[in-house]
Structure 1
Amino acid sequence: MSESPNTLHAEDWAGEIGERWLANLDPFEGQIAPVGDALFARAGFAPGEHVIDIGCGGGGTTIRIARAVAPGGSVLGLDISQALVDEARRRAQAAGATAAAFTCADAAAGIPEGAPFDRLYSRFGTMFFADPKSAFANLHAMLRPGGRIDISVWAPAPDNPWMMETMGVVARHIALPPRVPGTPGPFAFGDTGYLLEILAAAGFSEPDIAGWEGLQPIGGPGATPAEAAAFITGASSVADTLKAAGPEIAARVVGEVAALYARFHRPGEGVMMGGKAWLVTARA
């Protein structure tokens, strides 16, 4: 059976997906910024804390944490994509974020230099592990006893109109296989019961899950419907599905997605569509 276009694996980010994220860094980061802002506020970092940022991408979150834990603190951004790590280092240097360092490694295996950390943070970087119980056990080992984890993950796909309505357009032209619960991908932890099971099996305690729900700028703030459609169909995992379907179908889908996004476009803001995520805190 072929996989759903929303099924991604950690190793995918080390290659083409990571390169794609890098090439579209501003739209990606702009789109998820509302959730990232909520997670950062919830985390409440303090000066002097030592933090690891899992799936740091282009380093935006790592740089922000570095400023919050200064003076005396530090943050290590970890990502499986060397291209993203290189860009993160460049951005941190340009920003003067001397408390931030970066390393390319798989968070599911091995303990990075600097462990144990006081805090572990991840904005949408923990949903792609092939073996989540083992991976989260490894994350647990990165923290000192009593250390805190703060992560954001997407709530169930049906609670995310930005994805459901987009994929509804795709599904009118391409037969999409059903997603298998618990498989790696953006919505791997939509089921909070499953997520709590993973955390408990890894040794985490005192879990607390809060919901974030609001509007996101698809393709980043200020994107036109055509720009947002080009971004989603060309930069996300949908791109692979459309490529396999051929240019005629792809062009039809892109046009219909742009028409869909026109209904949600707000001048000066962009294509604003609803989303929902879980903000998760626990203790090691």
Structure 2
Amino acid sequence: MTEPEHPHADALKYEDWAGEMGARWLANLKGFEGTIAPMGEALLARAAFAPRERVIDLGCGGGATSIGIAAAVAPGGSVLGLDISPDLIAATTRRAQQAGAANAKFVCADAGTATLPEAPYDRLVSRLGCMFFSEPVAAFTNLRGQIKPGGRIDLAVWGPPAENPWMTAGMAVAREHVEMPAPVPRAPGPFAFEETGYLREVLTAAGFGHVDIVAATGELPVGGVGSTAEEARAFATNAMAFGQVLLDYPPEVQAAAAADLTALYARHYRQGEGVMMSYCAWLVSATA
């Protein structure tokens, strides 16, 4: 099972959103957005944006949240989508234009250090866009300076790995076939803020107050609504970090892992819904 060091060895520790990961998200945009839609809907429902508000959408990705916010804050409001991936910003700008979201603009920048145009804004929202900061206190301190005093932030981050089998069950199957690095607690990555105490510490140290955290739980469709077990397997291996690790192993290893992943997703398949697996996210609000 031991193989030489490979280029994706750090795939589960750090994801290059400005390069490889941003391009991968774009290439699998429909699958990603279809998968995380239930959590994103819960975030926007809790945020309850209103007309005339000016909003930063941190880590806007493919732009689904930005376009939704643009509609909610009209008339008179606007949204600035911020992402470190130039590929995603270019695609999302086109997508918003096609959707007629004239009050949505997009900037490619590092949220941890950037001074945003027309700051300060009324509010900030982030659907899974804030777990990859290498220096989270410094990044959130910078972001607080882009929001009006008293302005609200709303974040969605993944909860503990054990409560997110939609990700970790596939990872466990992959580990039966290949070696992967063990996750590093609090390191940049999907589960950086699994500990709510740590998340509170970061936001408080960055100057935010009134931190409130609630859980959003339920099931989400791996690969999108209606995906078959094979389609969910293809999404996982093409789009998720553990799938990228598999690519560095011989074809027979990849085939064996693919068969086991398909079997896993088949056990969770429901006709008309897709591959439905449990998730847990923290929905976080605080004031600048």
TM-score of the superposed pair, with normalisation by structure 1: 0.96
The CA deviation at 1:59 is 1.0
The CA deviation at 1:3 is 5.5
Whether the 8 Å CA contact 1:222–1:268 is kept in 2: the answer is: yes
SS in 1 for 2:215: strand
Does the alignment pair 1:45 with 2:49? yes
**Pairing partner for 1:177 from 174, 177, 181:** 181
1:116 corresponds to which residue? Answer: 120
CA separation in 2, counterparts of 1:110 and 1:189? 22
CA separation in 2, counterparts of 1:190 and 1:4? 20
CA separation in 1, counterparts of 2:87 and 2:243? 20
- List per-residue Cα deviations over 1:185-240 (Å, max 9, x = no partner): 00000000110010011000000000011000000111110010011111111232
1:70 corresponds to which residue? Answer: 74
CA separation in 2, counterparts of 1:48 and 1:258? 47
2:94 corresponds to which residue? Answer: 90
Does the alignment pair 1:7 with 2:13? yes
**Pairing partner for 1:244 from 248, 261, 282:** 248
CA separation in 1, counterparts of 2:258 and 2:128? 26
Whether the 8 Å CA contact 2:12–2:181 is kept in 1: the answer is: no
User: How many pairs were matched up?
Assistant: 282
The CA deviation at 1:100 is 0.4
| Residue identity in the other structure for 1:6 | L
Output aligned runs, 1:193-204, within 5 Å.
193-204=197-208
| Residue identity in the other structure for 1:101 | K
Percent identical residues: 55
Whether the 8 Å CA contact 2:159–2:193 is kept in 1: the answer is: yes
Spell out structure 1 runs of 4+ moving beyond 6 A.
Answer: none
Q: Gaps spanning 5+ residues in structure 2: where?
A: none
The CA deviation at 1:173 is 1.1
The CA deviation at 1:8 is 2.2
SS in 2 for 1:126: coil
Whether the 8 Å CA contact 1:3–1:179 is kept in 2: the answer is: no
1:160 corresponds to which residue? Answer: 164
**Pairing partner for 1:105 from 99, 103, 109:** 109
CA separation in 2, counterparts of 1:5 and 1:275? 21
Between Structure 1 and Structure 2, the one with more helix by share is 1
- List per-residue Cα deviations over 1:15-68 (Å, max 9, x = no partner): 111111111111100100000000000000000000000000111110100000
